[in-house]
């Protein structure tokens, strides 16, 4: 009888210990380096943010969204990465997009810590290339209202500058996109005041080795940057894909953040075809960190092939 009581007591204590939650801490600063030709590409994680895949994806059946997510052991909302990419060439330090900074509350704003952890200071950045002017790409430009990258020239497609820096266009977008205007204006203002913003139009070399390719749809001036070093190419495709599990399986699926959903799908399919045909490295803003990988064709759709982790690139 005494032995049974002891056994019961033991079971109760073990059960209580199992029921208590272990405190799971956060990750360390997110940076990941890749050698590409003569360049070093460093993915920088600004944060992760819940993407309401089932509510926001369009041109696709909601049950298909759920089943594709389930097959990847995911469910909506999916934690989406907010990635930016730092490219060190022999003579420049170029940042592609800047993350959300303070504009996504506690979900973003970790890029400066990741940058320092990777061994760089904000003042080392010579150029910022923006794929478009949405809040989670421009927000990281400023800290406390001043330039975080005081020595950088910010390069923007003129079509995006004309659209998002003009409040008269607010009537042309759905409610979900309204905060993008103030986000773009506030984040760029100190750079405009300092004369640090330049715009470009059409397909052009923004810097040696950095080729801008207009890919409209997600925004009017959404732009890819094809970076070439030696025989290698990396396509920084911005917001071509938001939820990779779904949109690679079905590239017709767009998202309510796309200004023109049909045109965004056309650009998306062009990027995927080019990536497969030419074997480009892809640098993706919202594919799971580090957002570096390749694209493989599979049946009617595509698959993401993540970079193979290398400790000493
Ligand atoms: Zn966007």
Instruction: Reply yes or no on whether the pLDDT at 171 is more than 70.
Output: yes
Quick one: pLDDT band at residue 300, thresholds 50, 70, 90? confident
CA of 191 to the centre of ligand 1 (A): 21
Please write the tens of the pLDDT for every residue from 201-216: 999 999 999 999 999 9
CA of 180 to the centre of ligand 1 (A): 9
Please write the tens of the pLDDT for every residue from 25-69: 999 999 999 999 999 999 999 999 999 999 999 999 999 999 999
Angle formed at CA 241 by CA 237 and CA 244, multiple of 5 degrees: 125
Could you give the CA distance from residue 183 to residue 175 in angstroms, rounded to a whole number? 14
CA of 43 to the centre of ligand 1 (A): 18
Could you give the CA distance from residue 134 to residue 217 in angstroms, rounded to a whole number? 13
Q: Would you call 201 helix, strand, or coil by DSSP?
A: coil
Instruction: Reply yes or no on whether the pLDDT at 195 is more than 60.
Output: yes
pLDDT value of residue 134:
98
Could you give the CA distance from residue 68 to residue 160 in angstroms, rounded to a whole number? 33
CA of 218 to the centre of ligand 1 (A): 7
CA of 257 to the centre of ligand 1 (A): 7
The structure tokens listed for 279 are 């074997």
In the predicted model, what is the mean pLDDT of the chain? Answer: 94
CA of 21 to the centre of ligand 1 (A): 36
Q: Which helix (H) or strand (E) holds 135?
A: helix 135-138
Delineate the domains of the chain, giving CATH numbers in brackets. 36-306 (3.60.15.10)
- Ordered alpha helix ranges (H), the chain: 2-19, 53-56, 62-71, 111-117, 135-138, 158-164, 179-193, 244-249, 261-278
Could you give the CA distance from residue 24 to residue 15 in angstroms, rounded to a whole number? 20
CA of 258 to the centre of ligand 1 (A): 7
pLDDT over 70, % of the chain:
94
For range 184-197, the mean pLDDT:
98
């Amino acid at each position: 009888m005494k032995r049974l009581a002891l056994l019961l007591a033991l079971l109760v204590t073990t059960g209580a210990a199992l029921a208590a939650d272990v405190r799971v801490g956060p990750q360390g600063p997110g940076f990941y380096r890749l050698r590409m030709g003569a360049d070093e590409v460093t993915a920088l994680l600004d944060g992760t943010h819940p993407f309401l895949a089932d509510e926001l994806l369009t041109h696709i059946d909601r049950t298909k969204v759920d089943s594709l997510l389930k097959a990847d052991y995911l469910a909506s909302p999916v934690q989406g990465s907010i990635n930016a990419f730092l490219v060190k060439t022999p003579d420049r330090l170029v940042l592609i997009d800047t993350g959300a900074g303070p504009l996504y509350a506690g979900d973003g704003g970790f890029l400066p810590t990741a940058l320092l952890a990777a061994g760089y200071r904000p003042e080392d950045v010579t150029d910022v290339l923006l794929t478009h002017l949405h809040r989670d790409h421009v927000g990281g430009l400023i800290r406390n209202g001043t330039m975080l990258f005081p020595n950088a020239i910010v390069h923007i497609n003129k079509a995006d500058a004309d659209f998002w820096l003009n409040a008269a266009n607010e009537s042309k977008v759905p409610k979900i996109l309204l905060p993008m205007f103030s986000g773009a204006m506030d984040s760029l203002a100190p750079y405009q005041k300092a004369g640090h913003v330049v715009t470009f139009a059409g397909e052009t070399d923004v810097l040696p080795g950095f080729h801008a390719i207009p890919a409209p749809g997600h925004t009017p001036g959404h732009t890819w940057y094809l970076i070439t070093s030696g025989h290698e190419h990396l396509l920084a495709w911005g917001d071509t894909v938001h939820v990779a599990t779904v949109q690679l399986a079905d590239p017709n699926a767009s998202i309510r953040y796309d200004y023109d959903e049909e045109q965004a799908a056309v650009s998306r399919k062009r990027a995927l075809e080019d990536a497969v045909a030419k074997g480009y490295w892809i640098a993706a803003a919202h594919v799971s960190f580090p957002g570096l990988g390749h694209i493989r064709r599979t049946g009617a759709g595509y698959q993401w092939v993540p970079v193979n982790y290398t400790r000493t690139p």
